[in-house]
Amino acid sequence: MAANDRPYRLEPASETDPTTLLLAHGTGGDEHDLVPLGARLAPGAALLSPRGTVREGGANRFFARHAEGVFDVADLDARAQELATWVREACAAHDRPLEGLLGLGFSNGANILWAVAAHDPTLLRGAVLLAPMLPLTPAQQPDLDGLPVLIGAGRADPIAPPDQAEALAAWLRDRGAQVELRWHEGGHQPGAAVLDHAQRWLAEARAGLPAAGGAASRRVGGEA
């Protein structure tokens, strides 16, 4: 089973909730880091939280980099494909419907989620990306028609500068995604107002999810 290939944590859903929230931590985090936030933002959803398997100076990451803000593109591509396969197999192993799969990622984790969407466009039904970057032009040109994405970004973020969030939003929109870019005035950590908005955004996204095997629109929200 793929789920045995890496450390991860699974928190079960409430009895009838079809949502699984895929959690992707930032650099130095692990499979436990985003579980409290996931439980707050998507109460009742199952939480699937894998650990990034790349090590950088003792810190966990989802893909390698050459320096801060300089991605190892080949490793990013390989790890995104690897994670997409792992998620599909883990959801199957735990009887979680892919029709209910949403993503929540922070920093390095947010970046692996958009890369997963680029490699496997039908996997996620929506994603919240906190403090993401797009310091490269992806080779993939996926069809993300209607995919709802919320980007939370800090106007004073020294690690993931505002122009990076804007570049990612533009790239996703060019691929057909329905992107909302939500700003806060702080730095790399998302502000309370952004997290409160993410909770409302996820509630709307979850309301549009089908029961297992059904179909529903991907469209959620608008641009802020």
Q: Which residues are catalytic?
A: 107, 157, 188
Nearest to 94, CA basis, from 49, 51, 52, 129: 49
For 66, phi then psi, to 5°, come to -85, -30
Whole-angstrom CA distances from 84 to 69, 117, 201 are 23, 8, 23
| Residues ≥6 apart with Cβ < 8 Å to 59 | 27, 28
Which pair of structure tokens corresponds to residue 215? Answer: 């179909």
Rounded Cα distance between 163 and 102, Å, is 25
Rg (alpha carbons) of the chain, rounded to whole number: 16
Whole-angstrom CA distances from 151 to 39, 103, 142 are 19, 12, 18
Rounded Cα distance between 59 and 53, Å, is 10
Quickly count: other Cβ atoms within 10 Å of residue 222's Cβ: 8
